[in-house]
Amino acid sequence: MDRITKIKIGRRKFLRVSAMVAAGGVLLAACGDTVSPTNTPAAGTTTVAGGATSLKLGVLLPFSGVYTQLGLDIVDGMNLYFESIGGVVAGRKIELLKEDEENDPQAALRKTKKLIESDKVDLLTGIVSSAVALGIRDTVDQAKTILVISNAGAKDITGARFSKYIFRTSFSNGQVPYPLGEWAYKNVGKKIFMTAPDYAAGRESVEGFKATFVKAGGTVVGEVYPPFGKTSDYAPFLTQIQQAKPEAVYAFYSGTEAVNFVKQYEQFGLKKDIPLVAAGFIVEQDTLPALGGAALGIKSTLHYADSLDTPENKKFVADFTSKYKRTPTTFALQGFDSARFIVEGLKVVNGDTTNKENLVKALEGVKFISPRGPLEIDPTNHGLTQNIYLRDVVAGSDGKPMNKVISTFEKIQDINTLLKN
Residue ranges that bind ligand BEZ, judged by CB under 6 A: 128-130, 151-154, 173, 201, 254, 281
Minimal distance in Å, beta carbon 129 to ligand BEZ? 4
| Type of residue found at 301 | T
Q: Which residue, 130 or 413, has its beta carbon nearer to ligand BEZ?
A: 130
Please give the Cα distance from 119 to 112 (Å, whole number).
10
Minimal distance in Å, beta carbon 172 to ligand BEZ? 9
Name every residue whose Cβ is closer than 8 Å to that of residue 300 and which is 6 or more positions away in sequence.
180, 277, 278, 279, 280, 282, 283, 390, 391, 393, 403
Q: Which residue, 278 or 402, has its beta carbon nearer to ligand BEZ?
A: 278
Sign of CA dihedral 317, 322, 326, 329: negative
Minimal distance in Å, beta carbon 200 to ligand BEZ? 7
Per residue in 228-267, is it b (16+ CB within 10 Å) or e — as a string? bbebeebeebbeebeebebbbbbbbbbbbbbbbbbbbbbe
Please give the Cα distance from 389 to 398 (Å, whole number).
23
Residue 303 burial (C-beta neighbours within 10 Å; 0-12, 13-18, 19+): buried
Minimal distance in Å, beta carbon 198 to ligand BEZ? 12
Q: Which residue, 29 or 148, has its beta carbon nearer to ligand BEZ?
A: 148
Compute the residue count for the chain.
Answer: 421
254 in Cβ contact with 281 (< 8 Å): yes
Minimal distance in Å, beta carbon 128 to ligand BEZ? 5
Q: Which residue is nearest to ligand BEZ (CB)?
A: 201
Minimal distance in Å, beta carbon 260 to ligand BEZ? 15
Per residue in 186-210, is it b (16+ CB within 10 Å) or e — as a string? eebbbebbbbbbebbbbbbbbbbbb
Minimal distance in Å, beta carbon 319 to ligand BEZ? 24
